[in-house]
Amino acid sequence: MPSIPRGTQRSFQVLLLFLVLAVLLLVGFLRVDFRLLTPDKAQEPPVTNIMFLKTHKTASSTILNILYRFSESHNLSTALPEGSRVHLGYPWLFVTRYVEGLKQDGRLQHHFNIMCNHLRFNFGEVQKVMPKDTFYFSILRNPVFQLESSFIYYKNYAPAFQRAKSLNEFLADPWRYYNDSVDLKNVYAKNNMWFDFGFDNNAPADVDYVRKCLAKVEQRFHLVLIADYFDESMVLLRRRLRWQLDDIASFKLNVRSQSTISHLTPESQERVKHWCALDWHLYEHFNRTFWAQLHAELSPRQLTEELEQLRAKQRELTTLCLQDPESKNVTHIDDLNLRPYQSGKAKILGYNLRHGLDNTTLRICQRMAMPELQHMAHLYSLQFPNKTPKDISFLKE
């Protein structure tokens, strides 16, 4: 067999080296992330059995809206409050009798696909309602901002908040206002997120106790989101649920006007961390796990791209649906069914839809802008047409 001339060999090696360098330069120029070439999880069947622990003042109303819309569009069943109730027994620990349609002749009738109304978590009872393959998730918020929102929203409801002129005043001497022996109305004033997970909000922040409770949350919940990074949370949630982008897009619901947002002094912010020490431990721990899971799931490039896709979709829907992208005071909202419930000293904002929308688009936009109580009542009427409709009395005022 004739040998290849040395000059030809050298030319071939130079050409090969040139091709390798060209490929490397091209990859660097295009900044190709090879993980983008892997199959999209969204091609797999979407997760449809979901339990969302709806914590208070944590952007959870927006997530509830997302779940309600998914339930209706995919013809799923949602575990809704029984009779005239608007929540699943909160603030008492959840039991199955709070769910409409679960029991028939004293026996469990069937499981539901989605559970997302306010309840105090009670794992054993929730398991009786939801299928075994249910995906459990929840959301937390920095306790400084969560307590500030609670103070305004529950100002006239929680005894601990009623006499304090401001949250700064309350935090300067909270035991002057807070009495843990008063009824459950005071759960909003101390470690409210900890309470929502089914734990004792008045317990000392003992290291072993905190570690034990955090371990329970990790065992029972597949994912805990962070409201302070809402878009990033939605990107990760969409991937875990294998949903489409349209499923996860949303308008911000149950938000307050800037005039009712208080600014805490640096001293008060530090006091929140001590007063709500259990919430602070909960938040710090799951803030770390959230970012660890997010970075394990997506490269920086993927995260940037998916955030932009989500935000572009929400801009598109805002232009399609809303008269004005800015949310409005309740007195300026034309449609009664889109007027949010007002609580405490908070001024809860809502939206006006564009005029002249076709029926299909109007339905999509109405569902996206519909406040929590009206949406729950709407689903209840769909699922239980023979039951007395929910009485959303504040709409008649």
HSE-up of residue 347 (Cα within 13 Å, Cβ side): 13
Cβ-proximal residues to 334 (8 Å cutoff; 6+ apart), any chain: 352
Distance CA 224, CA 201 (A): 19
Residue 3: the pLDDT is 53
Residue 212: the pLDDT is 98
Residue 109: the pLDDT is 59
Other beta carbons within 10 angstroms of residue 49's beta carbon come to 17
Residue 393: the pLDDT is 72
Strand ranges inside 83-201, DSSP E: 103-104, 107-108, 114-115, 135-140
How long a stretch of residues is the chain?
Answer: 397
Residue 380: the pLDDT is 97
Region 42-386: CATH code? 3.40.50.300
Tell me how far apart the terminal alpha carbons of the chain are, to the nearest angstrom.
Answer: 98
SS3 44: coil
Residue 37: the pLDDT is 36
Judge whether 242 and 47 are in contact, CB under 8 Å. Answer: yes
Concatenated DSSP letters of 231-293: HHHHHHHHHHHT--HHHH-----SPBPGGG-----HHHHHHHHHHTHHHHHHHHHHHHHHHHH
Strand 114-115 relative to strand 78-79, pairing: parallel
Residue 250: the pLDDT is 97
Residue 11: the pLDDT is 58
Of 97, 86, 48, 272, the residue nearest 170 (C-alpha)? 272
The predicted model scores a pTM of 0.88
Structure tokens at 266: 């640096």
Cβ-proximal residues to 210 (8 Å cutoff; 6+ apart), any chain: 278, 281
Residue 44: the pLDDT is 87
Helix (H), strand (E) counts: the chain = 15, 7
Residue linked to tokens 């009670």: 122
Distance CA 89, CA 199 (A): 16
H-helix or E-strand containing 305? helix 300-321
Cβ-proximal residues to 286 (8 Å cutoff; 6+ apart), any chain: 140, 217, 224, 226
Digits of tens for pLDDT over the chain (397 positions)?
Answer: 455 555 555 555 655 656 655 545 544 444 433 333 343 544 789 999 999 999 999 999 999 999 999 999 999 999 999 999 999 999 999 999 999 988 655 555 568 999 999 999 999 999 999 999 999 999 999 999 999 999 999 999 999 999 999 999 999 999 999 987 777 999 999 999 999 999 999 999 999 999 999 999 999 999 999 999 999 999 999 999 999 999 999 999 999 998 899 889 999 999 999 999 999 999 999 999 999 999 999 999 999 999 999 999 999 999 999 999 999 999 999 999 999 999 999 999 999 999 999 999 999 999 999 999 999 999 999 999 999 999 987 665 5
Cβ-proximal residues to 140 (8 Å cutoff; 6+ apart), any chain: 55, 58, 193, 224, 225, 226, 227, 282, 283, 286, 287
Q: Where are the domains of the chain?
A: 42-386
Residue 29: the pLDDT is 40
